[in-house]
Amino acid sequence: MSDAATAMQLVDMLSSRLRQLSDALLNLIADDVNTRVRNCCCGCMPANGRPLETGGFLLDLPLTHQEMADMIGTTRQSVSSAVTHFGNRGC
- 75-85 confidence digits (pLDDT tens): 999 999 999 99
Reply yes or no on whether the pLDDT at 63 is more than 70.
yes
Pair (7, 51) in one structural domain: no
How many domains in the chain? 2
Q: Which helix (H) or strand (E) holds 51?
A: strand 49-51
Taking the CA atoms of the chain, what radius of gyration do you get in angstroms?
17
Pair (16, 41) in one structural domain: no
Q: Residue 91, Cα to own-chain centre: how many angstroms?
A: 17
How many C-beta atoms lie closer than 10 Å to residue 74's C-beta? 19
The confidence score (pLDDT) of residue 33 equals 93
**What letter does residue 73 receive in the DSSP assignment?**
T
- pLDDT tens, 9-57? 999 999 999 998 898 888 788 889 999 998 888 888 888 888 888 877 7
C-alpha angle 47/52/55, rounded to 5°?
Answer: 110
**60 neighbors 46 (Cβ within 8 angstroms):** no
User: Residue 6 belongs to what domain range?
Assistant: 1-30
Pair (47, 19) in one structural domain: no
